[in-house]
């Protein structure tokens, strides 16, 4: 799970380099095993931390 403790737009790949392809291969292998990728945005206040928004992401 990718987690952000502030409002953030969905993950976008800006530049595809060698590491991108290595990581994509690992991620794709795990997705075929049932692992999901999700982004969760959290709201923080003096009382605590609460999930504000969450959604499944796909990196192409």
Question: Residue ranges per domain, the chain?
Answer: 2-56
The answer to whether 26 touches 60, Cβ cutoff 8 Å, is no
Per-residue pLDDT of the chain (60 residues; tens, 9 = 90+): 555 555 667 667 778 888 888 888 888 898 888 888 777 888 888 999 888 887 777 766
Sign, CA dihedral 44-52-6-24, equals positive
Q: Which residue carries 């290595």 as its tokens? A: 22
Structure tokens at 6: 């502030």
Q: State the DSSP code for 21.
A: H
Structure tokens at 54: 């969450």
Report the distance separating Cα 60 and Cα 58, nearest Å: 6
């Amino acid at each position: 799970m990718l987690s952000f403790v502030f409002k953030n737009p969905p993950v976008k790949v800006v530049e595809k380099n060698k590491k991108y392809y290595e990581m994509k291969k690992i991620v794709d292998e795990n997705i075929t095993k049932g692992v999901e990728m999700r982004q969760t945005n959290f709201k923080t206040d003096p009382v605590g931390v609460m999930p504000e928004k969450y959604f499944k992401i796909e990196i192409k």
